[in-house]
Structure 1
Amino acid sequence: MIYFFLAVLGYVLLAIVNILDKFILTKKLPKPAVYVFFSTVFLILLFSLVPFGAGFLDSGFDYLIAGLAGFAFMSAVWLMYTGFCQSEISHAGPMIGSAVAMFVFLLSSLFLREQLSLLQIFGVLVLVAGSLMISFEKSRLHTGWHKGIFWLIGGGLMFAISHVASKYIYDGYGFFTGLVWTRGFVGFFGLCLLFYPPVFRALFGARQTKSQTSWQQFGLVFFNQFMAVTATVLIQLAIALGSVIIVNALAGIQYAFLVVAVWLVTKFHPKLFAEKFTRGEFRNELISVLIISSGLVLLLI
């Protein structure tokens, strides 16, 4: 059960990362593509570990799968950040997470032939239901589900493809080699964003103002990405050690922590970060958290 605790720690860190993502996209780097570049490009350094134990893959097909995992992950981050810009984070996080859980369940059943007990399947469905319920947004800009959820659902599909492809590589080569190649390709495709004009102009175009290029700004981005990488490694290790379906279903912990953290920041530090919490909406989110918790219990029986 060590994979369970690794996944829980990873998802708690991801909840913190999501809050900082929303803050950065709102206050620091409002263009999602530019933030995707900074979020992924440094992972290309993982390729430097190939001579130090990671080694090479055995076939062109395996390189294709590893490349698919990397491209899908980079695309998922881009779609997710775009959705974050159009949604409140306490709703967007659960929305993309529920999409990941559903797509991973379908793809793993089709391609990895993973099987769960009927009770565990019911637990996954309960988690998805709770996540969808918590995704219903009532804010100053939206009531109910809005067009931003399509970006999030697309991101969820791409994350699921990345997770399932990564699991295939982990099963064949072990965690270390699999991590180097799947996440190294994330960095490679992140570097390719330099050919995307908005990213190139943002980095090398007109001279940026001091506030736009401050070390404090980049320090926050890099700190957030360090936490994101740590969380990703923990979750990927959990996937390598356990069931990809269960590990992704455990993302319900991330949503519960995210809602509580956003409420606390909104209440005590509204100038830093604030979202609208009506009494009915907060009650809906609490009920959703209870449903998510019930799903987690079912997964562990």
Structure 2
Amino acid sequence: MSWLLVAILAYLFLAIVSLFDRYFLVGAIPNPMVYTFYIGAIGLPICLLLLLFGITLPVKGIIILGLITGFIKILGNIFLMESIVRSEVSRAVPAIGGLMPIFSFLLFFLYFPKNEILNLYQFLAFILLVSGSVLISLKKVPGRFFSLRNLKYPIIASIIFAVSFFLMKILFLRVNFLTGFFLVLLGGGLGTLGFFVLPSFRKNLFIQRIDKKISGIFLLAQAIGGLGAVFQQYAFFLARPSQVPLINALEGIIYVFLFIFVLILSFWKPELLKEEMRGTTLFQKIFAILLIGIGLAILAKFRIITF
């Protein structure tokens, strides 16, 4: 299966779960660290189930690499949730999707040989995808055309995610997909247990519990998010190192799905997502989607997915 198709499917699921994230973060679980803990902790029992499939553990150094990768990814999730709390969901998510590929490209460019960098068509698609994602993340404010203030947390999250995905690809070059996925998931789950050393976290965890009324919705959201994570990591596994920044750049596709979801949900409960869907803001979003669409078309047209 093509890494491009797998990545698009992954971002469909991740777009859906980002709406659930916003729902919980403005409601029952407003603390990003507590919410991240619940997400990461779910991974531990899943790791036990994966052991039934005959996970073959690699050498100690590779195990440590996988665990560190999972822990770093969890840190990125904290800043992602903080971004969603402090900003609009259809801006925070594409901001990270736009900035992360830039950091990812730099990491892969510095680490891998020159023959692993993007070719002309890949680079053009990369620029279009990143431009579309960044454009949609910028917020218009009175007195100035754009404000970068709300990009503080997305920038931090982008750097952390870029490092985690860089390490993840190195991991997948050394182990099979199931083993790599297991190690990353285990590292994330164990990392969330470290939150207990913080008194403020323990206090918030006791207050912000998942009650029975929302437990079903929460589990559904995590199931969808889990599928998104599986497909995203599988896309990394299938892709060559030079294509990983492209997969990161493709996160802008999340916005295409979010745009549709937000339009529908804003008619039902506009205050839930705090979106602006009129005037120049709407034009900005449509133009950004156009850039993303052209970038995706270049990837498909020139069969870059076969490299």
Mark yes or no: TM-score above 0.5: yes
User: Structure 2 CA distance, aligned partners of 1:46 and 1:233?
Assistant: 12
Question: 2:76: which partner in 1?
Answer: 76
Give the CA deviation at 1:287: 0.4
Question: 2:305: which partner in 1?
Answer: none
User: Which letter does structure 2 place at the counterpart of 1:59?
Assistant: K
User: Which letter does structure 1 place at the counterpart of 2:60?
Assistant: S
Question: 1:214: which partner in 2?
Answer: 211
User: Structure 1 CA distance, aligned partners of 2:78 and 2:152?
Assistant: 13
Q: Do the aligned partners of residues 273 and 131 (structure 1) sit closer, same or farther apart at CA in structure 2, a change above 3 Å counting?
A: closer
User: Structure 2 CA distance, aligned partners of 1:251 and 1:271?
Assistant: 25
Is contact 1:139–1:276 with CA below 8 Å preserved after alignment? no
User: Which letter does structure 2 place at the counterpart of 1:203?
Assistant: L
Question: 1:58: which partner in 2?
Answer: 59
- Classify the secondary structure of the residue corresponding to 1:57: coil
Is contact 1:50–1:56 with CA below 8 Å preserved after alignment? no
**Superposed CA offset, 1:43-65 (max 9, x none):** 123443347421212132x2332
User: Structure 2 CA distance, aligned partners of 1:233 and 1:213?
Assistant: 24
User: Which letter does structure 2 place at the counterpart of 1:129?
Assistant: S
Question: 1:127: which partner in 2?
Answer: 129
Percent identical pairs in the alignment equals 28
User: Structure 1 CA distance, aligned partners of 2:280 and 2:213?
Assistant: 38
Question: 2:100: which partner in 1?
Answer: 100
Is contact 2:88–2:273 with CA below 8 Å preserved after alignment? no
Q: Do the aligned partners of residues 115 and 20 (structure 1) sit closer, same or farther apart at CA in structure 2, a change above 3 Å counting?
A: same
User: Structure 2 CA distance, aligned partners of 1:132 and 1:52?
Assistant: 41
- Classify the secondary structure of the residue corresponding to 2:275: coil
Question: 1:299: which partner in 2?
Answer: 299
**Superposed CA offset, 1:92-115 (max 9, x none):** 111011112111211122224432
**Superposed CA offset, 1:19-57 (max 9, x none):** 111111011211111101001112123443347421212
Give the CA deviation at 1:190: 1.3
Question: 1:156: which partner in 2?
Answer: 158
- The range that moved more, 241-250 or 185-194, is 241-250
Q: Do the aligned partners of residues 21 and 53 (structure 1) sit closer, same or farther apart at CA in structure 2, a change above 3 Å counting?
A: same
- Classify the secondary structure of the residue corresponding to 1:173: coil
- Classify the secondary structure of the residue corresponding to 1:28: coil
User: Structure 1 CA distance, aligned partners of 2:217 and 2:72?
Assistant: 25
Gaps of 5+ in 2: 303-307
User: Structure 2 CA distance, aligned partners of 1:58 and 1:213?
Assistant: 38
Give the CA deviation at 1:139: 7.2
Is contact 2:91–2:138 with CA below 8 Å preserved after alignment? yes
Question: 2:234: which partner in 1?
Answer: 237
Aligned length, in residue pairs: 294
Is contact 2:88–2:274 with CA below 8 Å preserved after alignment? no
Is contact 2:57–2:63 with CA below 8 Å preserved after alignment? no
Is contact 2:73–2:188 with CA below 8 Å preserved after alignment? yes
Q: Do the aligned partners of residues 104 and 213 (structure 1) sit closer, same or farther apart at CA in structure 2, a change above 3 Å counting?
A: closer
Aligned-residue RMSD, C-alpha: 2.1
Q: Do the aligned partners of residues 213 and 240 (structure 1) sit closer, same or farther apart at CA in structure 2, a change above 3 Å counting?
A: closer
- Say yes or no: does 1:169 pair with 2:166: no
Aligned pairs for 1:257-276 within 5 A: 257-270=257-270, 272-276=272-276
The two structures have a TM-score, normalised by structure 1, of 0.90
Give the CA deviation at 1:91: 0.8
User: Which letter does structure 2 place at the counterpart of 1:57?
Assistant: P
Is contact 2:40–2:74 with CA below 8 Å preserved after alignment? yes
- Classify the secondary structure of the residue corresponding to 1:250: helix
User: Which letter does structure 2 place at the counterpart of 1:115?
Assistant: I
Q: Do the aligned partners of residues 259 and 188 (structure 1) sit closer, same or farther apart at CA in structure 2, a change above 3 Å counting?
A: same
- The range that moved more, 257-266 or 225-234, is 257-266
User: Structure 2 CA distance, aligned partners of 1:81 and 1:273?
Assistant: 14
**Superposed CA offset, 1:220-253 (max 9, x none):** 2222111111100011011101132222222121
Gaps of 5+ in 1: none
Question: 1:145: which partner in 2?
Answer: 147
